[in-house]
Amino acid sequence: MSKSLLIVESPTKVNTLKKFIGKDFIVKASVGHIKDLPKKKLGVDIDNDFKPDYITIRGKGKILDELKAAAKKVENIYLAPDPDREGEAIAFHIQNEVAKLNKGKIYRVMFNEITQRAVTEAIKHPTELNVNKVNAQQARRILDRLVGYKISPLLWKKVQRGLSAGRVQSVALRMVCDREKEIREFKPQEYWTIEADLEGSRPPPFQAKLFKIGADKAEIPNQAEADLILKTIGAGPFVLEDIVKKERKRNPSAPFITSTLQQEASRKLNFSPKKTMMLAQRLYEGLDLGPKGTVGLITYMRTDSTRVADEAIEAVRGFIAGRFGKEFLPDAPNVYKSKKTAQEAHEAIRPTDVNLDPASVKEYMEKDLFNLYELIWSRFVSCQMCPAVLDTTQFDIRAGNYLFRANGSVVKFSGFLQVYEESMDEVLDASGKANDRLLPLLEKGETLKLSRIAPEQHFTQPPPRYTEASLVKALEEKGVGRPSTYASIITVIKERDYIKTEERKIYPNELGILVSDLLVENFPDIMTEEFTANMEDQLDQIEEGKTEWVKTLKSFYGPFQKDLEKAEKSMRDVKGKMEQTDEVCEKCGKPMVIKWGRFGKFMACSGYPECKTTKEIGEGNASQKNGANELVEGSCEKCGAALVMKIGRFGKFIACSEYPKCKFTKPVSLGVSCPREGCKGYVSARRTKKGRTFYGCSEYPKCDFTSWDKPVAEECPQCKAPYLVEKWKKDEGKFLMCVKEGCGYKSASAA
């Protein structure tokens, strides 16, 4: 019995670890948690200090039996689930099951990366289970169970069955709904700007914007004021009054932590947080790199620390000097501050071997996996490079009492920009536009030639809707959730159909707004960002051994129980208050009423359950809201009846007016024919099961044409391609682009 047993979470790690630790170890995987609270009951004894009733997860009995059998055959057991609270809880439950079967020692080992060095070192220096970390995970699990299992039945009773609430997810939903209310209530204010196109003694021509009127900042409220200024300025003269030149340094961004990786992958690669974490998990656990075998390519991806190990710093500095030259290497390593709450035992997300550059591993990865690895690798290398140096120039141009200003910059030394640039990092001028234009070499005092001066109307904009990236950023800033939970928070409220994403922006569904309003009205104490952030702090204190987990739960449950009892009586009964309509059921003649369903309001026969007739409710005029569907051109391909526009779970679609007798449906056309040769279909908007909009052929599954970019029925003016696609960039907004290879046409903006 000389062998040892190493137990990990994921089965994909098993073969890699066997290669590292040799024949002296048996390696087994728990495949995640083996124990959890039961699904069909609360599973928490509130009166007995919140004692949890853990049971073996359905389907894990066989795995647990294998772990027990292996434990009997070895002397020592090494528990190696992931290095976080969830991993600690998994290790704790495994230890409870196998301890009585093993006479040797049970150790806890943690790998921040799946490499020969890291694994060997971890096994050489094992630790013990961290009970405080287990208690923190247990407290979180019980808190979430109490909220979910106590509030969800209320929603079933007052709104409809199948709804659910979560301690953290509901706060995230409130943030989305509150932002939507801000947007709807926003009243835009008109303002104007004035720009002049000017030329000096040397090219190129440039633009300058009215910056000051006298000593005050230029604020133009309406067209009359703008016209008066133009009349006063006339043709000038425009004199270059001052030139300010500065050298400015631009520092690299910190290496990735979980939240920044999710944000940047969303912005640059259009990945959801869930997809980013799934791909990162694969990179962490290891990929087959041909002759090199299976290699873990990145460090652990659930972290809020920007700390980097000394040996990794040494390696990347050597790489930078060799690849780019010593002028790109700072005298000392760059150090980045982590948040106060960061787990400094963890490292930032980085490549395990900087010499495995993206080009050298590309052939072993599919596209998405490669793109994420390239992002992580580039960010890490750039974080240890010298700052970029920019020469910035500011022109102040005097036209009587009016001062115009132009800004420009040029990269003098690329520094870290040689490798990586964070997508949201933009050099902005006073007007908020990208400050990357080059101004001509002119002399102070020059009189400039005016070629055009024009006013432009603007309106103040409401706060932007969240994207998945900006929601993750907001959750992190407000202390709602932790690195391991950001992806699941967004995924859960999407899967509950409380929110949807369109063109990368998050919109709350009608049902999401209703649920959020009900929760805020009845549970004001727990539905706040402050309360949720404070609870996260208390969980951190449990992990640090500064407070007891039972004490934390008691302090939460007392007020929560009072809110619960009050809500039972006072929560609005949406289910019981059905809206009456003027419509009658086409089957039985009884009045139709408006009810709430999983996907929002719908019309149903008041004779339910005897009559189960239902209809969708349109979004347009009053007649649609009363249940009448809008007629569209054409006739049903099956029965010849009229066609109507309907609203379903995935948006608008066309259906036969004789439903339910005839169930013919078809998608709504964008006016673009399918580009596949020989296909007679057309392109329409569709949604994935997760709510993300894409565009595909109406002849699916016969034709598999799809596009994430929205096709627009406009011919390319350059190559005459039959359609363009709509794109969006942060610094440019919407624009149209040709998809034909080699064309490169791009419009200034899209309507």
Q: Say how far apart CA 486 and CA 484 lie, in whole Å.
A: 6
Among residues 54, 107, 284, 300, which one is catalytic? 300
Using alpha carbons only, give the angle 343, 532, 164 rounded to the nearest 5 degrees: 115
C-alpha–C-alpha distance, residues 159 and 145, integer Å: 21
The whole-angstrom separation of Cα 271 and Cα 265 is 6
DSSP conformation class of 313? H
Q: What are phi and psi of 204, to 5 degrees?
A: -90, 165
HSE-up (13 A, CA, CB side) for residue 170: 28
Strand residues in 636-689 grouped as ranges (E): 642-648, 651-656, 665-666, 669-673, 682-687
Residues 709 and 445: their CA atoms lie apart, in Å, by 49
Helix (H) or strand (E) holding 397: strand 388-399
Q: CB of 14 within 8 A of CB of 8?
A: yes
The rounded distance, in Å, linking the Cα atoms of 688 and 508 is 17
Q: What are phi and psi of 680, to 5 degrees?
A: -100, 10
The CA distances from residue 99 to 89, 615, 691, in Å, are 15, 59, 46
In the residue annotation, 284 being an active-site residue is answered as no
Is the separation of the CB atoms in 699 and 681 below 8 Å? Answer: yes
Which pair of structure tokens corresponds to residue 474? 């907001």
Sheet strand arrangement including 724-729: 710-712, 724-729, 733-737
Non-local (6+) Cβ contacts of 204 within 8 A are 438, 440
d(CA 491, CA 497): 10
Sheet containing strand 76-79, strands side by side: 25-29, 4-8, 76-79, 106-108
Sign of the torsion angle spanned by Cα atoms 355, 360, 363, 367: positive
Q: What is the Cα–Cα distance from 501 to 618, expressed in whole angstroms?
A: 20
Q: Tell me which amino acid residue 569 is.
A: K
Active site residues: 300
